[in-house]
Amino acid sequence: MPQTSAPAETPSAVIDRIALVLDAFDGPGRLTLAQIVRRTGLPRSSAHRMLERLVQLRWLRRNGRDYELGMRLVELGSLAVQQDRLVRAAAPLLGELHRATGLVVHLAVLDAPDVVYLEKIGDAVIPTRVGSRQPAHCTAVGKAILAYSDQHTAVDLSTRKTKYSIATSSQLAAELAKVRAHGVAFEREESLAGFGCVAAPIGGPGEAVAAVSVCGRMNRMMFDQRLTAPVRMTAMAIWRNIEGGPQSVAPTLQPLRPLRPARPEPRRAVQYA
């Protein structure tokens, strides 16, 4: 009789087996293949194949015949802790910034080539939500973080959201240099037609773990100190909260005066305050 091949594993079954392997590392130290087989109950050959693949993906690290948790898991764990801490540190300050400006406020982190939004406060007209992504080079928050990151090499400049999106490496380099020089990033209709943003990086000197922005319709946006100052103050206060805990003091932001319709300006003639 012709031999029948074993049915392929479902994605959930594969995930369950990976979880079994990773859960075997429930304490400090390294494990041998034999120890992992005993702890998981997986066939030795299957466990070995899975271990070697996880080593290639940096989820595990092999030292001789021993295995230990890899740097990718360390990075992900650190990021999860940092993001939870980041959102808690930022939450009251984001609300204050929204009340002071009347604009949509975003908190985002970089997962090149995208930014991921961790928090959003304000108008639902802007089609962003917590957990959604946008190409980093098309957003103010993305530029604010990319300026202090080596992940700009992962940006896909062929992805454009509007005709104003950055399209060349020279454009991106010039924009990021301006961010580093002035500590603030601008976006003018680069991710959504008719809307603009002002963002500032969150982090210590020369680094950015996240960014905060205010966004609104172009006729409500001011690309000068009236918005750059409160956004930068908020970014600095968030970082102080992360470093110093809940006893840190929030900045006092005065509500902006009612805005007059903005005059049309040259698309790329952006003044950095």
Q: Which residue has the tokens 């950015």?
A: 208
Task: Look at residue 10 in the predicted model and tell me its pLDDT.
Answer: 79
81: pLDDT strictly greater than 80: no
Does 7 fall in a domain? no
Q: Are residues 61 and 94 in the same domain?
A: no
Task: Provide the number of structural domains found in the chain.
Answer: 2
53: pLDDT strictly greater than 70: yes
248: pLDDT strictly greater than 60: no
pLDDT digits (tens, 9 = 90+) for 84-143: 889 999 999 999 999 999 999 999 999 889 999 999 999 878 999 988 899 999 999 999
- Highest mean pLDDT out of 42-46, 152-156, 248-252: 42-46
Q: What is the CATH number of the domain that holds 227?
A: 3.30.450.40
Q: Are residues 194 and 122 in the same domain?
A: yes
- Highest mean pLDDT out of 77-81, 119-123, 192-196: 192-196
Does 44 fall in a domain? yes
Average pLDDT over residues 17-26: 90
Q: Are residues 93 and 69 in the same domain?
A: no
Q: Are residues 222 and 174 in the same domain?
A: yes
Rounded to two decimals, what is the model's pTM? 0.68
Q: Are residues 213 and 147 in the same domain?
A: yes
Does 267 fall in a domain? no
Q: Are residues 178 and 136 in the same domain?
A: yes
Does 255 fall in a domain? no
Q: Are residues 40 and 134 in the same domain?
A: no
- Choice between 161 and 271, residue whose per-residue pLDDT is larger: 161
Does 120 fall in a domain? yes
Listed residues 24, 45, 73: the one ending a domain: 73
Task: Look at residue 231 in the predicted model and tell me its pLDDT.
Answer: 98
Q: What is the CATH number of the domain that holds 57?
A: 1.10.10.10
Does 131 fall in a domain? yes
Q: Are residues 57 and 119 in the same domain?
A: no
Listed residues 73, 92, 109: the one ending a domain: 73
Does 269 fall in a domain? no
262: pLDDT strictly greater than 70: no
Q: Are residues 32 and 159 in the same domain?
A: no
Two structure tokens written together for 201? 């990086």
Q: Are residues 96 and 29 in the same domain?
A: no
Does 258 fall in a domain? no
Listed residues 53, 73, 93: the one ending a domain: 73
Residue 187's alpha-carbon distances to 84, 93, 166, 191, in angstroms, are 27, 22, 10, 8
pLDDT > 70 fraction of the chain, expressed in percent and rounded: 85
Order the strands of the 195-202 sheet from edge to edge. 133-135, 114-121, 104-111, 210-217, 195-202, 185-188
Q: Are residues 52 and 153 in the same domain?
A: no
247: pLDDT strictly greater than 60: no
Domain that holds residue 141: 84-244
Task: Look at residue 255 in the predicted model and tell me its pLDDT.
Answer: 67
Q: Are residues 23 and 58 in the same domain?
A: yes
Task: Look at residue 27 in the predicted model and tell me its pLDDT.
Answer: 72
